[in-house]
Amino acid sequence: MSIKGKAYIAGIYEHPTRLAKDISLAQIHAQVAKGALEDAGLTKDDVDGYFCAGDAPGLGPMSMVEYMGLKPRHVDSTDTGGSSYVLHVGHAAEAIAAGKCKVALITLAGRPRAEGMATGTVPRSRGGTPTPDEPFEFPYGPTVVNMYAMCAMRHMHEYGTTSEQLAWIKVAASHHAQHNPHALMRDVVTVEQVVNSPMISDPLHRLDCCVITDGGGAIVVVAPEIAAKLKRPKVKLIGAGEFVKTQMGGKVDLTYSGARFSGAAAFAEAGVKPADIKYASIYDSFTITVLMQLEDLGFCEKGKGGAFVSDGNLIAGTGKLPFNTDGGGLCSNHPGNRGGLTKVLEAVRQLRGEAHPAVQVKNCNLAVAHGTGGSLGLRHGSATVILERE
Amino acid sequence: MAEAKERKLPAPTVSQETQAYWDAAAKGKLLVRKCTSCGQAHHYPRTICPFCFSDKTEWIEASGKGTIYSYSVMRRAPVPYAMAYVTLAEGPRMVTNIVDCDFDKLKCEQPVKLVFKPTDGGPPLPMFTPA
């Protein structure tokens, strides 16, 4: 069974806040759910499937189902970190195709800024019973940034990738963010500014890192017969893939990500090629994340990502592959340190023709959204969806 | 110039499955788990081989020789440190730190050798220093 054409994204909403001091976590989940349902032209009582991940307060989906007054007949709280919500789009389509639900709601919310969380630079123990890997990692001081940095270091060693090439990714994101009134960082930056920003963990500079923001977002995925009755432009899911990449028992290879497999599965299901894609939402926790995923999704040869992203090739209007036209996680929003959901949102805006006019891709009929969650250098979950404007 | 501070290392949590690994670490030895069915060594250690799923695995003592697969100096920490993956002579790559060296001279593929560093109330951690 394939999910191709079995589900549509009918509603989306991105919370405008980037600092949620006076809003609770549950409140953000409900606000974004309300926003996405209103965008679709549906109501809370239409929802019969609910999807959330580890950012939702409570055990799995239960507390949020109660708080929002939902009555789902299908739930899924699979957590693959920031990529969860891309994965949920695929899972929602599977559930819809199997007749388990017709209107699936996916929500994300987080308040790391309001809570003063040291997101990227402090090693974190999960607490409780340790995972089997934790005693062999946590005491050494792995942080979010240094584990991604090791991928960049090895990429530079094997392929000659440079800091200037990585910087182009941030430069492109900043060109897009200037048009997004909600973006946390709206100033256009140069390659020089990126490589001269303070070193956080070699070879990643401060401006190679994404923003830390509060907020959230929601997606409504519906069955074809529901989509047919709604007034919004139709965005059809035609391919989805997921993968968990690990240290493979010590056969560690930092030069590629799980996108190699989740992407291949999604493209095969969709029956399209990377060259057909008009717009790409690519997870951008760090510049290196983007570069590796572009290679692994097949937009360029492995090791040639540095050349591919250079000279503005990712900038809408001038480049061959416009990416993250909302400014992405690098400049606009990374709600709850989980950037997968917002990747889907901007892909839907592009396909609907509702992106900012300055960054709207002409005749945008095919888009990819891809997420990486967890740690690129330790273990991560990859998820890819391919969306088509009908 | 900030005054030099000693980096405090948290103790690893020891489980029944990994007790022997940490007991050996306390004696200055690095153990690697090897499968007698498929012949491959893995890390971190498990009783069931992650490659062939055989339960015929045993401890072997590592030579302590390796090379840096990748590294990153965490500059934005109270005491900067070098996170690394080291490729052991026995095959597996392990998460570790590179210590007692000039961080600015580290390179991928650089030969390193085993050292141990004390933790806060637990067994010492196997780390590496330039050979």
The whole-number average pLDDT for the span A25-31 is 98
pLDDT at residue B1, as a whole number: 38
- Which of the four pLDDT bands, split at 50, 70 and 90, describes residue A139? very high
| Chain B contact for A121 (CB, 8 A cutoff) | yes
pLDDT tops 90 at residue A187: yes
Tell me what the mean pLDDT of segment B51-69 comes to: 98
Q: Is the dihedral of CA A342, A348, A352, A357 positive or negative?
A: positive
Check whether B2 has a pLDDT greater than 50: no
Residue appearing with tokens 């992405």? A328
Provide, as residue numbers in chain A, all residues whose Cβ is less than 8 Å from the Cβ of B40.
Answer: 249
pLDDT > 80? residue B4: no
Residues of A in Cβ contact (< 8 Å) with B69: 154, 252, 254
Contact A200 B75 (CB under 8 A): yes
Domain ranges for chain B: 16-130
Which residue segments constitute the domains of chain A, with CATH numbers given?
7-114+209-389 (3.40.47.10)
ipTM value, please give it.
0.96
Nearest CB partner across the interface for A135, out of B18, B40, B50? B18
The three-class DSSP label of residue A93 is: helix
pLDDT (mean) for A99-105:
98
For B89-107, the pLDDT digits (tens) are: 999 999 999 999 999 999 9
- Say how far residue A337 (Cα) sits from the centre of its chain: 10
- Residue that wins the pLDDT comparison between A123 and B35: B35
Inter-chain residue contact A251 with B70, CB threshold 8 Å: no
Residue of B nearest to A139 (CA): B10
pLDDT at A122: 85
Q: Which helix (H) or strand (E) is A280 found in, with range?
A: strand A279-282
Residue B19 half-sphere exposure toward CB, CA atoms < 13 A: 3
* Range A321-325 average pLDDT: 98
Closest CA to A4 of A93, A135, A72: A93
Residues of B at the A interface, defined by Cβ within 8 angstroms: 9-15, 17-18, 40-44, 46, 49-51, 69-77, 81, 83-85, 88, 91-97, 108-109, 119, 125, 127
The pLDDT mean for chain A works out to 97
Across the range A323-339, mean pLDDT stands at 97
Q: What is the pLDDT of residues A287-306, one digit of tens each?
A: 999 999 999 999 999 999 99
Read off the tokens for A328: 């992405």
pLDDT category of residue A152 using cuts at 50, 70 and 90 = very high
DSSP structural state of residue A347: H
pLDDT at B3 over 70: no
Q: Please determine, for residue B79, whether its predicted confidence score (pLDDT) is greater than 70.
A: yes
For B30-58, letters b (16+ CB in 10 Å) and e give bbbbbbeeeebbbbbbbeebbbeeeeebe
Whole-angstrom Cα distance, residue A170 to residue A166? 7
Tens-place pLDDT, residues A45-62: 999 999 999 999 999 999
Q: Please state, in angstroms and rounded to a whole number, the distance separating the CA atoms of residues A123 and A165.
A: 28
Residue A119 has pLDDT above 80, yes or no: no
